[in-house]
Homo-oligomer: A and B are copies of this chain.
Amino acid sequence: MLIQTAFSSFLFASLCAAFIPSRFMAKPPNFSQYDYETRYFDVLLDHFTFVSDLTFKMKYLISTKFHVPDGPILFYTGNEGAIETFAENTGFMWDIAEELKAAVLFAEHRFYGSSLPFVNDSFKDPQHFGYLTAEQALADYASLIQYLKSSVKNFENSPVIAFGGSYGGMLSAWFRYKYPNLIAGAVAASAPIWLFPNMSNCAGFYDTATRAFSTSGSTVCTKNVALVWDSIRTVAKQHSGHELLRLMFQLCDPLPDEQKLIDYLIDFLGTLAMVNYPYEASFIGTFPPEPVKYFCKGLSDAVDKNVDVDIVQRVATAVRSLTNYTKNQSCISLEGDLPGLDAKAWTLQTCLEMTTPMCSNGDGMFPPLEWDPVVFCQSCFDKFAVRPRLNWSAVEFWGKNIKTATNIVFSNGDLDPWSAFGVLTDDQAPGCNVIRIPSGAHHLDLRAKNELDPPDVVDARQRELQHIKDWIDEWHAKPKNLPRNQMNVDVLYYSKLRNDAKFF
C-alpha cells in the first residue's frame, strides 16, 4: 500500500530536511485486478458546526459480489492518496471477502484523490484546506455508513469492520474508538498512533530503519552508509564536486546543493526499509524482493573510510541498482515525480494536527537530525499560514491512554521503521490484540497473499481473520432487548445530501 506517502514528515537538521517518500509513489493503476464499482456520496464539508451546509463529493469503491443480507462490510478507511491505490494494494480484504460473505468498501479521504471539496481551490488557503482533519474524515466515513445502512436493505444489520494501514490504520483504530456504535472492530496495520509530540522517542523511525538494514542487510552495510553523509559533503567541496555527485548518482539535473541529495538519500533509505517485502512489489516504484538486502549487496565489505569518492560511488551504485531496477529510469530526479497534491496534502496535515516529530541522534546509519517544535511551527506558519496543534491528538485520539479500547488489532512489522510509534505490547492496549510480525515490513499483512509470504505474516493474517469472525459474532449476538441497529433512519431529511441511491 501507498501508506508511506502518509508520512512526509518534517525533519529539521541544520535547516529542514523533508522526509517525503511519496516521490517514489506510483500513480493509481490504470486497470484494476479487483472488481469494484466507483460511487460518490455527497457529504457535509463540516460535520461539527452549522456555519454552512456545503457538501462535497466523496468517492468510494464498493463490491457486493460476495455479500449476503446482514453479512459484514469490510470498510477501508482511506488515507493520504487516491482510493484506488489502496483498493489495489490491500489484497487481504479481497482475499477474505468470499469466506466472510462480505461487502468490500473503500472510502476516499477528503482532500485526496478526487475527493477535493473545493476542486482546484482546495489547497488555496486555510479557509479551504482548513477542513482537512482526521475528525472530519472519520465523520465522513460514519455518514457514509449511516447512509448505506439506512438505504440498502441488505446492509441493515451488517457489522462493519474497519481496515487501514499506516495513517489509514490510525484512522481505523480511531474509528473504533469514536464510533463503536458503527464499527464492530478494526484492523489497524502498521499504525503509528503514537508518533505525536511527547508520546514516543522521535529517533525511533531511523533507529528502526537502521535495524532493518543491519538485520536484512548487514551491520557492515549500515556502517558504510553511515560514512556517506560526510563523504558527500567532502566531495561536494571539491572542484566540480556537485557535478561529480551528479555523475555518480546519475541525477537528471544539476545539483546546486548537496543537502538536497542527502535529503533524497535519507528518504530513499527509509522507504526501502518500509517496503522490504519478500517479493517484487510495485507501488512505491518497482523494487526487487527484499530490496534492503539487494541494496546492501555491494556494501557489505569494509570500505576505506579515507576515500570519500569510493564510499559515495558504492552507495550511488547501490541506489542506482534499485532506482533503475526496471531498466527504464535513466536518471534520478531529486524533484521526483511527486504526485503533488497528495504529498502536499499530507505535508499540510503534519502542520495541522498530524505532527510527526522525527529525529536522529546519528548513532545509526543516518546523520544527526534534530526536531525542533519551534522551528517546525514557524515553518508551518510560513508555508501554510497555520499553526500545528501539537498536543491535540493526545486529547482527541486518546494519546497513550487507550485502556478502554476494544476490538482492535494492532499489527506491526518489527523491521518497519513506523513500528517505533506503534502499539507493540499487550499491556499498552489491554483490551485490544497486538500482533507482531518479526520479519515484516510496512503492513505486509494487509497485502494480498503471496507464496513468498513468510510464515509469521501468514499466521498474522489467520489471527486477524479469527478476530474479525469473533467481532462479527459479537455484533450479531445482541444483548436481550438491546436494539442492535438503530440505523433505520429516515433519509428524507438528508435531501440536502443527494446520494446515489439508484445504485442499489
Contact = CB atoms under 8 A, between A and B. Distances in A.
A256 interface: no
A114 interface: no
Pairs A-B, 6 closest by C-beta atoms: A51-B130, A181-B398, A181-B401, A50-B130, A180-B404, A399-B486
A135 B48 contact: yes
Given A50-B130, A126-B51, A490 B197 contact: yes
Given A388-B493, A404-B180, A486-B401, A142 B395 contact: yes
Contact of A180 (B142, B394, B398, B494): B398
Interface in A390-427: 390-392, 394-396, 398-404, 406, 425, 427
Contacts of A373: 490, 492-493
Contacts of A490: 197-198, 373, 390-391
A328 interface: no
A51 B428 contact: no
Which one of A394, A427, A493 has the greatest number of beta carbons of chain B within 10 Å? A493
A66 interface: no
A425 B481 CA distance: 9
A340 interface: no
Most buried by B among A387, A425, A489: A489
A179 interface: yes
B487 A394 contact: yes
Contacts of A483: 400-401
Nearest to A51: B130
Given A48-B133, A136-B48, A484-B401, A391 B489 contact: yes
Contacts of A388: 493
Interface of A: 46-53, 126-127, 129-133, 135-136, 139, 142-143, 146, 150, 178-182, 197-199, 352, 373-374, 377, 386-392, 394-396, 398-404, 406, 425, 427-428, 430, 479-490, 492-494, 496
Nearest to A402: B181
Given A180-B404, A181-B399, A427-B480, A494 B51 contact: no
Contacts of A390: 489-490, 493
A389 B427 CA distance: 40
Contacts of A481: 425, 427-428
A142 B129 CA distance: 24
A395 B179 CA distance: 7
Contacts of A136: 48-49
Contacts of A179: 395, 398
Contacts of A428: 481-482
Given A49-B130, A399-B181, A493-B373, A486 B394 contact: yes
Contact of A391 (B395, B479, B480, B494): B494
A53 B387 contact: yes
Contact of A486 (B53, B135, B198, B486): B198
